[in-house]
Structure 1
Amino acid sequence: MIPPAIQRPALRFAPSPNGLLHLGHALSALLNADMAGALGGRFLLRMEDIDVIRCTPEFEQAIYDDLAWLGLDWERPVRRQSEHLDAYRAALDDLIARGLAYPAFMTRGEVKAHVATMEAAGGKQGAPWPRDPDGALRYPPVDRERSGDERRRMIDEGTRHAWRLDMLRALKECGGTLSWTETGDGETGIIAADPAAWGDVVLWRSDAPSSYHLSVTVDDAAQGITHVVRGLDLFHATSVHRVLQTLLGLPAPVYYHHRLILGPDGRKLSKSEGDTGLSALRAEGATSADIRRLVGL
């Protein structure tokens, strides 16, 4: 059920508490808060903490400290994904019941081996295996083509599996052309979605509950998000989110994909690469005003 607050503009900053916030996160958080203020709307915070191994209470507290230091305030309570796994499972079960999701048994290694075999069989003239917009190998159709009896047998035997969206069936059910309204730093206007470029995306992982695509779609609807403001690295992922929104009967927000903050070597800043965090900049004497200048606001 979509809350009544959807009638009022609502924006969200949704970090994962698996590391310290850096300048790229600061840009996204500040843009969300500034735009919420300009629209007379709500600024919400979401903790994308499904990864129970890497996400910690210490990192979550550090996020609160950094955002408060930046002068930001947000509505309480904060939505934590780890507390809403039942909502993501309900969405998945709906898709499974409609024949739009299937169990996927292949490991990453098996996918690579399968692709290598198929490319070798194609010879020098064979086309390379398709990759998704992030550069990852598209999932082979092996599991999609299994019979229902074989799937049930493998599951009953305890074979580890994820759940993937049957993109071909999903697009048939959606019907017509999908699109979204884009107002960000790149291409703007009505953007034609290209979900097929992603192939059969993961909806529920074998090593963690839910996936980014499924949980973020459910979360945005549950929180009444009207404007999604996030980095340009997620521009193409919007195609997948539009499919899921359509299949699950959820509203489509307006999107604003903002520029990325790059390091001296030209790559996007990353927590996993140990890029300088906001807390370190604060310890060096930086002010919140300095951070705004550093991110070009």
Structure 2
Amino acid sequence: MSIRFDGRVAIVTGAGVGLGRSHALGLAARGAKVVVNDLGVGRDGAGQSSEAADAVVAEIEAMGGEAFAHGADVSDEAAVEDMVAQAVDRWGRVDIAVNNAGILLDKTFGKMEMRAFAKVVDVHLIGSANVAHACWPHMRAQKYGRIVLTSSASGLYGNFGQSNYGAAKAAMLGLMNVLHMEGARDGIRVNTLAPTAATRMTADLLPEAAQELLAPETITPGLLVLVSEDAPSQMIMGAGAGSYAETRIYETRGITLMDEDNTPEAVAARLNDIRDPQDQEQLGDAFGQTRKYALSAAKARGLKLDW
């Protein structure tokens, strides 16, 4: 099976360097027309330049592809709407949105200014929502869309000094879950990529040998699957150095405490039972948890609940 994007229009944010550049080139090499979005800032969000985005456009055009650069700040809703409008005006549609743009303002939580916390959340989370929201009506109208959000192990598992980044990256899971549900009937599939790559964002964190193994190009094949015609939906794909895995959230079977037995002391005494992974399961949606708890309570009381 050959994965191609002929006739598809893709927007890739943060596409001037690193992972975004690799994604943009990978999509273009397989036939997509690409909007190369990059504000041209440093990894801390400072400065602004179109040089990097223009260079990627030139690379795409040199390989015979079509692309244009747009310098929208993804946290600026009006600028994002203009970017999407330009893509639709030029090519008539927008099929793929790859949310990759990001910044780092690392500090321990006690030393962090809240404006730095808000800025990182604005770029990663609000920026991703802005792009998805601007693309949404076009994707619904054409009954086709592929959206990828970019998470991180810092959000899934935590990383010292990255409370702002980790919070924003963890939020991608909640956004994905709801957009997956709301987009399903209109052919919109939504996934999350959790990459580990050697980029300017991680340049100070990785030894040189690891940086060679973790090149962005080792991750892009996974991204291309997540935005392909036969893409899954609601998948969290971990990727790095040619390795791929799926992250899933499980809930343990848990316990039920009734009436006067439902006390803090009883909960504390049964923590090991509550955390026991045996028979853990994935829940399909938030209501699935409500149903599970109501049925467990009814069963404990010998009641039959038709649900």
Q: TM-score, normalised by structure 2?
A: 0.34
Q: Which has the higher contact order (CA 8 A, sep 6+)?
A: 1
